[in-house]
Amino acid sequence: MTQTPSIPRTAVVPAAGLGTRFLPATKTVPKELLPVVDTPGIELVAEEAAEGGAERLCIITSPGKDGVVAHFVEDLVLEGTLEKRGKQAMLDKVRRAPNLIKVEAVVQDKPLGLGHAVACVEPYLDDDEDAISVLLPDDLVLPIGVLTTMAKVRAKRGGSVLCAIEVPKDRISAYGVFDVEVVPDATNPDVLKVNGMVEKPKAEDAPSNYAAAGRYLLDRAVFDAIRRVGKGAGGEIQLTDAIALMIAEGHPVHVVVHRGTRHDLGNPGGYLKAAVDLALDRDDYGPDLRAWLEKRLTR
């Protein structure tokens, strides 16, 4: 019997960005703590990592953003109060995050870019950890499970595996876009070989309709590549540049095309869609919200 490979032991969640698109809310509240219905985005991402089989979540934070990691610490006073009042459902909700997965904070002193943020985790890895997963907390990729498919692809083909979504041509220039080719012996047509990546191309220059979707399974070789790329777009050390360097040097990189939903929690418009989408599926808020929306849309 073949066992489904689990994702690497360490899942990395870069959360040290400035969150400028969400100002003024992010002046004091990290965007990763903004609730999607009632659950912070960071908890949804932690759930995904835990379900994939990761054993610890390294959250890259900036000085002063401690609240993100604090969400995963038990609050015995609050739990005691809820217990005394017989609020079992609330208690279950409060206990969920601390019990999901072991969480560690890794501080990125300055926001020098996503590549730099990922590199901050290297000193915390054990010698036998040959890969990491990276989950961008801005991206909700539903239903959960693409990381497991990505782990299968790495087990079969080695190297690094990324996640893509298919985006219509008129919206492609907002994304990092993959230059891909078909894998002749692939049993899954949604697995493609990556030859390169272009950040935010003009629609007519886009090499495909496949855009990066915030999930990465990266071979440990990525750290060496990050060290060797200089500053890229925006004067930041870009993860995309490190991946491009690895591809140029012959490191195998594949994508798995995710055929479900992807929400962008990093800007208010995408965040609202995610909240409405998830609320509509809930028994407690869904029916009332649907009725209100239908009425509101006829106004």
Q: In angstroms, give the least distance from the CB of 53 to ligand UTP.
A: 22
Q: In angstroms, give the least distance from the CB of 237 to ligand UTP.
A: 8
Q: Which is nearer to ligand UTP, 2 or 20 (CB)?
A: 20
CA dihedral sign of residues 14, 16, 18, 22: positive
Q: Which is nearer to ligand UTP, 10 or 108 (CB)?
A: 108
Residues that bind ligand UTP in the complex, under the rule CB under 6 A:
14-21, 60, 108, 111-114, 116-117, 136-138, 266
Q: In angstroms, give the least distance from the CB of 271 to ligand UTP.
A: 11
Q: In angstroms, give the least distance from the CB of 4 to ligand UTP.
A: 28
The SS3 of residue 213 is strand
Q: In angstroms, give the least distance from the CB of 32 to ligand UTP.
A: 8
Asked if residue 31 lies in contact with residue 25, where contact means CB atoms within 8 angstroms, the answer is yes
Q: Which is nearer to ligand UTP, 18 or 293 (CB)?
A: 18
Q: In angstroms, give the least distance from the CB of 121 to ligand UTP.
A: 11
Rounded CA separation 189/122 (Å) = 33
Asked if residue 161 lies in contact with residue 256, where contact means CB atoms within 8 angstroms, the answer is yes
Q: Which is nearer to ligand UTP, 134 or 278 (CB)?
A: 134
Over the range 94-107, which residues count as b (16 or more CB within 10 Å of their CB) and which as e? eeebeebbebebbe
Q: In angstroms, give the least distance from the CB of 61 to ligand UTP.
A: 8
Q: Which is nearer to ligand UTP, 193 or 241 (CB)?
A: 241
Q: Which is nearer to ligand UTP, 54 or 279 (CB)?
A: 54
| Closest-approach residue to ligand UTP (CB) | 17
Structure-token match 């960005």, residue found:
17
Helix (H) or strand (E) holding 196: strand 191-199
Rounded CA separation 109/171 (Å) = 34
Q: Which is nearer to ligand UTP, 97 or 136 (CB)?
A: 136
| Long-range CB contact pairs, 264-268, < 8 A, 24+ | 264/138, 264/139, 265/31, 265/34, 265/36, 265/41, 265/137, 265/138, 265/139, 265/140, 266/19, 266/21, 266/22, 266/31, 266/138, 266/139, 267/21, 267/22, 268/21, 268/22
Distance of alpha carbon 50 from the chain centroid: 13
